[in-house]
Chains A and B, each alone.
Chain A
């Protein structure tokens, strides 16, 4: 039990590393990287031990919770602590693993960077924040971790803030996700009152699933939380920040996309699933559609479509992440809780692998653009085969990781009463396979189009790739070939709720075959188009409809333009300017006008009021003012005294009238 009860150490160690690196990093032989790596390594080992303990617990497993009083509020104790169950254990494992890989990889990738130490400090804080979110027993602690993750991503996306584009991307990420956070915050507050003034997540789930909270209230708070998820997990229509976030160093992208930041949204849905489940009436015979599934489904398709028109290899991956996050949200929306969470798990491996692989490419050719790559298959063999493994896993090819989790999602959608989303998932699978084929072709085949002589990555970068490649192959086997490890370890169970919320569907060969076939067709079509030069090349030149469609994709559905020109600019310029104009001319105008009038009146009264009163005031003030030399000037003009005298005179008169009339 030691590891389960003391899992607070897992976020605490990187948290401490943040301060250590920040204050002492520069003096260390490894410039802070040594502290960071050691810290995350310890956290990872603790996470592994925790996982082993959790798995070896006798069933039924019960969540282990520990907490202390954080503060009291209106008679309610608000706690901070750890809530360890299967979901938390899985997240602890995956976050620390990916973070460790990224830490090691950055040794090579960030070598000689202008802010190397600062980078490692931020990485440590990023990891700590995410881990704190993961173990949160209540929504408030979750919110704290959530926002800290946001700030760290701001710091890391804008790591090279000398260039305006990076700093703008960082701000865009922060503000876009924060827009969603307003919903999250209000959702948390709504649930707090709905649950009888309680932030506790287990309590919330229990109440939601046993009818302790009205359906209407659950729907409202579910929608509010969903807004937070849409912002954080880059779901349509707030996904726009994620591709821009590619401005950050590539290891950061890997961390953001695989284990921290964007999966926080998915994690939130999985964590307070009771609220979503009951609020959105998820479950069989629920009419085949709901908000969660719809947003996820749309995101699957729009993300995948955009991945086709990117030249920047990291942007291809970014849109692919958007699309894959869509799968996870969709899975949770159709009631396939385990499938969604499992996809989060497997996706972490191959997405981290692909990002680190793309980092290796960028490191070699000094460009993000695939038009500067090509033919790298021979020159960078390790990067090549690991990247291919990652791509195949992403495309869902048997028996790699993505195949198993994606298959579970499709199965869950179909059997769970959401056939439409089965088809969305299938189309998505086709598109995923196709755009990854395109990317691999452009990067590894053909002639090298860039400058210089690209060479293989150093060992610190290559080893994380190898390790993650193994994970990308094998991670899916935790729930494959009739082995039910993952579903039994990580399951959605709420104490006190006996009815079955999440139903598991047995592996179905026909569905698996269908999705595999679709993936192969995707690869085949793209391979035919690129490798064999088949199909309608130059369509965008010949057909105006195709050109318009391409432009529509290139412009990212004009969403960025809508937000920037339609919303931000309108507030930034007309609205804010108008408000300021009113402030200066209307509100202040009244004040200045009143000042003018009272100055006139004061001058008039001054000649009537016995000057000795004023003189007395002047003398009194003069005593203290003597010390302040230059100030005396203002005093002697007598203006202030005039105001004071007039106002007090008026006040006294007014007081007299008031007393006489009311007494």
Chain B
């Protein structure tokens, strides 16, 4: 690779952007927008450069950047990217300009934009950090701007929602901090040197089985809250519903992935044996999430809340794939993270546009919108179908891989999860029917069609939805080596091996 520290730049750039935005006078919001967009697009370009330079077929970390930070505590600025984090980084870099361009703050653009850029830096940091301390710092950084975005620019119930979000995630963070410190000190006690380095800690595993279980639990609860896994999900609908549009987009598109990513990078990698032992529990919770999220989504009257609950169901699929502990399952899980980011992000943006036009999100108040805004309806339909998991669109690839991956190791969970596929069609099509079909009346008659600017913002996401559905090969090829290495590591440590081909034939 070149000497240019791409990954460091990915984190520093939005942070500089935030500082720049703070420096711009409050009276010039238009400059703020331009700067923010320019910065976030620059980050995207940088991320795409990383994608381009990424060596396909390599399992290890690439673009590694490592500098000692606090020597006596063994903390270093250690960043790296592999097939697991690559697409999440690109997704993050894509969704931020998407969210910034797609919706406006209704007041105090400057502070809002600064928080968004801080959030971007934090999210990218989480995906790139290979040092537990650094990871924790970024993890906490993410929390703060999100709290202010919900609390400051949200809707009616924003204070309650923001606080709930904060308490939930803070509880998780506290537990994770315990886990990190315990892990590090136990390791130091055994080996005599203090380090927060992820790879070192994973290599020199020095704790007993029962300790590992506790440590895993400390991490897992924190991730489970972030994902969220049933029954820790109740902060999500509130936060989603009350957050401003861009907040919802980022929350669904990126923040939830921090949890699922955490499970892969820290859960499975650091505690392979425990992950294997506890997989049935997490798979069950994942399946419950799929069914439960879908059923509860079906009765929602608020469009945004409905999509929030659909996230619970989708994230259940990701958990299912992750804890299937097979290459296909984990790959499906990761690609599903990207898919969910694209489709749910776009859905939230579209709902935001509906709210902007009609000042309501109540499904009952809407109707017949397809008549007055056919293009808008068409876009919504495409995104919705991707969310439903229609073959030919991205959602299917992830879901199918997850089902296949789960089927290898845990057949019955896959069978139950497959029924979630019908339920997704049920609640989303019902919602679509009520919002877009029928004859428009009253205010709905004046519903404006999709504007060019809005279309331009949505177009890249729509293109990706189709592209990933039709040709997922480039993405799968890049993630496979890393995923396979991870799964093999789990298998080795857990003393299992993936069921072989021959076994499959005679069951």
Contacts and interface: CB of A to CB of B under 8 A. Distances in A.
Interface stretch (B33-41, B62-70, B122-130, B176-184): B176-184
A572 B299 contact: yes
Interface string A633-663: 0100001100110011011101100110011
Interface stretch (A161-169, A324-332, A334-342): A161-169
A446 B484 CA distance: 74
A500 interface: no
B164 A595 contact: yes
A576 B291 CA distance: 11
Interface stretch (B88-96, B253-261, B342-350, B468-476): B468-476
A616 to B, nearest CB: 16
A158 B502 CA distance: 47
B430 interface: yes
Contact of B501 (A140, A196, A624): A196
B189 A195 contact: no
Contact of A182 (B298, B328, B397, B421): B421
Given A627-B22, A648-B174, A576 B299 contact: yes
Contacts of B181: 655, 659
A579 interface: yes
B192 interface: no
Interface in B491-507: 501-502, 504-507
A628 B152 contact: yes
A371 interface: no
Contacts of A627: 22, 110-111, 114
B473 A72 contact: yes
Interface string B339-378: 0000000000000000000000000000010110010000
Interface string B106-120: 001011001100000
A144 B392 contact: yes
Nearest to B112: A628
Contacts of B43: none
Q: What's the interface size class on A, roughly?
A: 35 or more
Contact of B177 (A118, A179, A625, A648): A648
Contacts of B484: 74
A182 B420 CA distance: 9
B407 A189 contact: yes
Interface in A562-600: 571-572, 575-577, 579-580, 583, 587-588, 591, 595, 598
A171 B501 contact: no
Contacts of B505: 193-196, 212-214
A147 interface: yes
B403 A189 contact: yes
Contacts of B397: 71
B328 to A, nearest CB: 5
Interface string A606-641: 000000000000000100110111110010000110
A583 B296 contact: yes
Nearest to B26: A627
A629 B159 CA distance: 15
A529 interface: no
Given A74-B331, A194-B505, A651-B177, A175 B385 contact: no
Given A162-B368, A164-B438, A630-B152, A658 B234 contact: no
Contact of B328 (A73, A171, A214, A587): A73
Contact of A147 (B111, B392, B426, B433): B392
A185 interface: yes
B437 A161 contact: yes
Contacts of B392: 144, 147-148
A631 B425 contact: no
A662 B182 contact: yes
B414 interface: yes
Contacts of B477: 71-72
A579 B368 CA distance: 30
Given A72-B476, A629-B108, A171 B234 contact: no
A5 interface: no
B298 A576 contact: yes
B142 interface: no
B234 A73 contact: no
B295 A575 contact: yes
B410 to A, nearest CB: 13
A641 B448 CA distance: 44
Contacts of A197: 501, 504
A147 B295 contact: no
B366 to A, nearest CB: 14
B185 interface: yes
A630 B480 CA distance: 47
A531 B183 CA distance: 91
A71 B425 contact: no
Contacts of A143: 391
Interface hub of A185, A588, A652 (most chain B Cβ within 10 A): A185
A588 B234 contact: yes
A475 to B, nearest CB: 32
B426 A175 contact: yes
B408 A193 contact: yes
B177 A70 contact: no
A193 B407 contact: yes
B177 A655 contact: yes
Nearest to A576: B299
A16 to B, nearest CB: 14
B167 A598 contact: yes
Contacts of B115: 628
B346 to A, nearest CB: 18
Interface in B147-167: 147-148, 151-152, 159, 162-164, 166-167
A520 interface: no
B379 interface: no
Contact of B473 (A70, A151, A185, A576): A70
A186 B473 CA distance: 23
Interface in B463-488: 471-473, 476-477, 480, 484
Contacts of B75: none
Contact of B421 (A185, A587, A662, A663): A185
A627 to B, nearest CB: 4
Contacts of B506: 214, 217
Contacts of B401: 73
A31 interface: no
B404 interface: yes
A161 B438 contact: yes
Interface string B433-472: 1001111000000000000000000000000000000011
Given A164-B438, A196-B505, A576-B295, A658 B178 contact: yes
B214 interface: yes
Contacts of A147: 390-392, 396
B167 A587 contact: no
A157 B327 CA distance: 40
B111 A579 contact: no
B51 interface: no
A178 interface: yes
A640 B166 contact: yes
Given A577-B299, A580-B296, A640-B147, A174 B429 contact: yes
A644 B163 CA distance: 11
B288 to A, nearest CB: 11
A647 B178 CA distance: 11
A175 B429 contact: yes
Contacts of A634: 151, 159, 162
A625 B295 contact: no
Given A162-B371, A650-B174, A175 B425 contact: yes
Contacts of A508: none
Q: Which 10 A-B residue pairings sit nearest by Cβ, starting from the closest?
A: A144-B391, A651-B174, A193-B504, A628-B111, A161-B437, A167-B437, A71-B473, A74-B327, A647-B174, A576-B299
Given A74-B327, A194-B505, A655-B182, 5 more contacts: A171-B430, A580-B299, A631-B152, A640-B147, A643-B166
12 contacts: A71-B473, A72-B476, A162-B438, A182-B422, A185-B418, A193-B505, A591-B164, A627-B114, A628-B111, A634-B151, A634-B162, A658-B178
